[in-house]
Amino acid sequence: MVVTYDTIGAGYGARRRPDPRIARRIDAALGGAELVLNVGAGAGSYEPEHRSVVAVEPALTMLDQRPPGAGPTMRAVAEQLPIADDAVDAALAVLTVHHWLDLAGGLAEMCRVSLDRQVIVTWNQRVADDRFWFIRDYAPELISSERAKCPSVDVMRRVLGRVTVEPLPIPADCTDGFFAAYWRRPETYLDPEARAAISVFALAEPWRYEDGLARLEADVVAGRWHERYTRLLDLDELDLGYRLVIGHAGEEHLTRPRPRSG
């Protein structure tokens, strides 16, 4: 079992703190689900406190960072969920599907185990290519190797069936340090610890971004970045391609009772 986050995930508990505004959107997408399976759960971000949550995560480094009192966990991969059919109300996957070795297999497993719906937070990199200044103006090579990993909604729809897709704008002061979270705080990209908690940087060869970071540092110090991107400084949030995908593959059997053990 290849477990990426056993290698790169050491700082996620501190740097990847769930943003409450994003958390509210995810919670709303879960609808009336009482029992939620969090697939690729990592350190436990965005697990709703008022619902029962079971987490699946392959990396021990991530499991060790889960907070005290978090729900039960299982060490497994998305493509082989150790859970019975229709065992949970909803399956959740937050910024993880691009790391799965078999996307279709993982999505099919989410459908198999959930009675109601599947909620997925993913990233449309085509939107980011046009809108995110870091990619467009400083390091266009950085995510070239990542593009094939981030699935389109059309790919998800083939497995999930009917889906609802909602833009997930990023707050200017986002507390969750994923790749585009610092779109109004360019100096944060110069912090090695911040970059270490972003898989796009952690998994990339340094040549893909080192020159861009050097130019960014020079622009920030000289004030050129703030002059060039003045329009961003007045924005409270920005759509950089993050999407909330809600699969409704389970709705045709909502009236079926959940199987009970024993």
> Does residue 8 surpass a pLDDT of 60?
no
What whole-number distance in Å separates Cα of residue 35 and Cα of residue 66? 18
The lowest-confidence range among 33-42, 85-94, 153-162 is 153-162
What whole-number distance in Å separates Cα of residue 226 and Cα of residue 14? 28
Q: Is 234 exposed, middle or buried (0-12, 13-18, 19+ CB in 10 A)?
A: exposed
Q: Which domains does the chain have, with CATH numbers?
A: 5-250 (3.40.50.150)
Average the pLDDT over 92-118 and give the result.
Answer: 93
pLDDT score for 54 = 95
> Contact 162/248 with Cβ under 8 angstroms?
yes
pTM of this prediction?
0.87
What whole-number distance in Å separates Cα of residue 111 and Cα of residue 247? 8
pLDDT score for 258 = 44
> Does residue 250 surpass a pLDDT of 80?
no
50: confidence class by pLDDT, cuts 50, 70, 90 = very high
73-97, pLDDT tens digit by residue? 999 999 999 999 999 999 999 999 9
Structure-token pair, residue 112: 């198999």
Beta-carbon-side half-sphere exposure of residue 208 (alpha carbons within 13 Å): 15
> Contact 73/66 with Cβ under 8 angstroms?
yes
- Residue 43 sits at the vertex; the CA angle it makes with 128 and 132, to the nearest 5 degrees, is 10
> Contact 81/112 with Cβ under 8 angstroms?
yes
Structure-token pair, residue 252: 């045709």
What is the percent of the chain where pLDDT is above 70? Answer: 87
pLDDT score for 15 = 65
What whole-number distance in Å separates Cα of residue 90 and Cα of residue 37? 6
pLDDT score for 44 = 83
146: confidence class by pLDDT, cuts 50, 70, 90 = low
pLDDT score for 251 = 55
**Separation in Å, CA 46 to CA 39, 51, 60, 190:** 12, 11, 19, 26
Phi, psi dihedral angles at 223 (to 5 degrees) = 85, 5
